[in-house]
Amino acid sequence: MVLAATWGVGQVVLTFLWFMLLFIWIWLMISVFIDIFRSDDMGGLHKAIWLLAILLFNLLGVLAYLIIRGDKMRVHSMNAAKAQDEAMKDYIRQASGSGSAADELHRLADLKDRGVIDDAEFAKLKAKIV
């Protein structure tokens, strides 16, 4: 009860602001570390120097990294998103069974051989695929 009487609304808002800034700072550090380890254009020594600079000079290290390599950070995240999108499309294509045109033609020929479709339907579906 005593703590509630001594803290004003401004102090509570300021405390929430500090907590928010702390979480933003942690998120920023994690993002920079992920980008450092994801970079293919840097060698191991170069990565170690960046990590030490960020750990020793927290704010200046992160700001320097964002200024110097911020554009590469964007490129790395775009490439990772594209790779993830392609992997998802490949998985969906594989799971749905729709493969290449040759696979589709082989499937149609199999249906025709089993008598499921006749020659006219086979020709029509083959024309769609090719």
39-54 per-position pLDDT tens digit: 888 899 999 999 999 9
pLDDT at residue number 3: 61
pLDDT at residue number 2: 63
Query: What span, in angstroms and rounded, lies between the C-alpha atoms of 86 and 82?
Result: 6
- Can you give the residue ranges of every domain in the chain? 2-98, 99-130
Quickly count: other Cβ atoms within 10 Å of residue 33's Cβ.
Answer: 17
pLDDT at residue number 82: 95
58-93 per-position pLDDT tens digit: 889 999 999 999 889 999 889 989 999 999 988 887
